[in-house]
Amino acid sequence: MTGIDDVARAAGVSTATVSRALSGRGRISDATRVRVRAAAADLGYVVSSAASTLATGRTANIGVVVPLLDRWFFSNVLDGIASVLAAHGYDITLYSMGDDPVQRDRVLDVSLRRGRVDGLIVLSLDLADDELDRLLGLELPIVGLGATSARLPVLRVDDSAVARVATEHLLSLGHRRIAHIGFSRAGDPGFDIPSLRRAGFAAAMTDAGIPDPRFAAADFTIEDGHRAAADLLGGPDRPSAIFAASDEMAFGALFAARERGLDVPGDLSVIGVDGHEMSGFFGLTTVAQFPHAQGERAGEAIRRLVEAGAAPADTALPFDLVVRSSTAAPSHTADRAGDAEARPVGSKA
């Protein structure tokens, strides 16, 4: 059976250097690391996880806590995380925390306490104070990505600014009857992403002299976006534009418009958020937030935090307005008449 001594002889280095090269930890030249890993690959040598843990006190494993596993956004974030961590010799363990309180308690009080991970990435989780206490009580390096608490070190997009960009794009085209499809809680939105997007929408509309804009609640799926849009479009005073808080809800709005024989963008403009891989196919105007790149940033941040204790200095994540064929100036006289009353708006936050 091939051992670390065999790899060391083949690469012409010490066993300690082999250990550093294969673990990704410690100072070593790139040329030496490449040579050692090539020798290990040729000999079919794989580091024993148990032996590595005993030697270094680390598991070479990062936990990722997610609210959902079946959404496009999260799968792209996870792929970005994996692409970075795998290149540095880390495995990933996923922990799903849905709405079931029993399952959430099991993750926090059992699974995460087994000592199987060196650090955690927490994705867009809405955590109660007692849950945060238990999470922080693990005393593990933690990086939040779009997390919903100021108590976590977090990489995040400015979701209020995202909503402003989307809304101001529609306003700049001349729309005034703009409805928002999304979700929010009562009171201060805090770090709740859907609520921040609704707050940004409302602020942009108020700044344009349009108080109390229309809102329809939906659960960030195509199906619920379709339902919410159908309700909005079936009323007597249908909007000339819809800002959906996700691309998937925007897809549902496009389907609802088509079912009613409405032309997009002639009768209805639609804009979403995410930069979904299908948004180009549907001609959807969107505010892209690059989930794969977000995952890469999170993977690199937790690696640096685990290995060097270095928290990310820059926590702001980029976004960009991508204009396609689903938005245009309104054809309705009432909306055009409102142009003179609106203050100029831009397309960037």
Q: Concatenated DSSP letters for 130-153?
A: HHHHHHHTT---EEEES-S-TTS-
Single-letter amino acid code for the residue at 287? V
Q: Give the predicted TM-score (pTM) of the model.
A: 0.78
Single-letter amino acid code for the residue at 333? T
Residue 55's pLDDT is: 46
Residue 202 CA to residue 80 CA, distance in Å, equals: 32
Q: By percentage, how much of the chain surpasses pLDDT 90? A: 57
What's the pLDDT band for 326 if we cut at 50, 70, 90? very high
Upper half-sphere CA count for residue 236 (Cβ side, 13 Å): 0
What would the mean pLDDT of 73-87 be, rounded to a whole number?
94
* Nearest in space to 282 (alpha carbons), one of 264, 298, 305: 264
CA distances from 204 to 160, 188, 275 (A): 10, 17, 21
Q: What is the DSSP letter of 340?
A: G
The residue among 329 and 20 whose pLDDT is bigger is: 329
Residue 122's pLDDT is: 94
- Do the beta carbons of residue 182 and residue 175 sit within 8 Å? no
Residue 336's pLDDT is: 45
As beta bridge partners, residue 123 has 145
The residue among 55 and 123 whose pLDDT is bigger is: 123
User: What is the token pair recorded at 258?
Assistant: 């088509």
Domains (range + CATH), the chain: 4-56 (1.10.260.40), 61-155+292-308 (3.40.50.2300), 159-284+324-341 (3.40.50.2300)
User: What is the token pair recorded at 91?
Assistant: 């495995």
The residue among 47 and 348 whose pLDDT is bigger is: 47
- Do the beta carbons of residue 169 and residue 285 sit within 8 Å? yes
The residue written with tokens 């250097």 in the block is 17
User: In a 3-state reduction of DSSP, which class is residue 247?
Assistant: helix
Average model confidence (pLDDT) for the chain? 86
Residue 347's pLDDT is: 36
Q: What are phi and psi of 207, to 5 degrees?
A: -60, -30
Spell out the residues 6+ positions from residue 161 whose beta carbon is closer than 8 angstroms to its own.
200, 319, 349
What would the mean pLDDT of 233-255 be, rounded to a whole number?
95
Q: How confident is the model over 111-164, as pLDDT tens digits?
A: 888 878 999 999 988 888 899 999 999 999 999 998 767 788 889 999 999 999
Q: Which of 289-293, 313-317, 340-344 has the highest mean pLDDT?
A: 289-293
- Do the beta carbons of residue 265 and residue 271 sit within 8 Å? no
What would the mean pLDDT of 270-297 be, rounded to a whole number?
96
As beta bridge partners, residue 121 has 64, 143
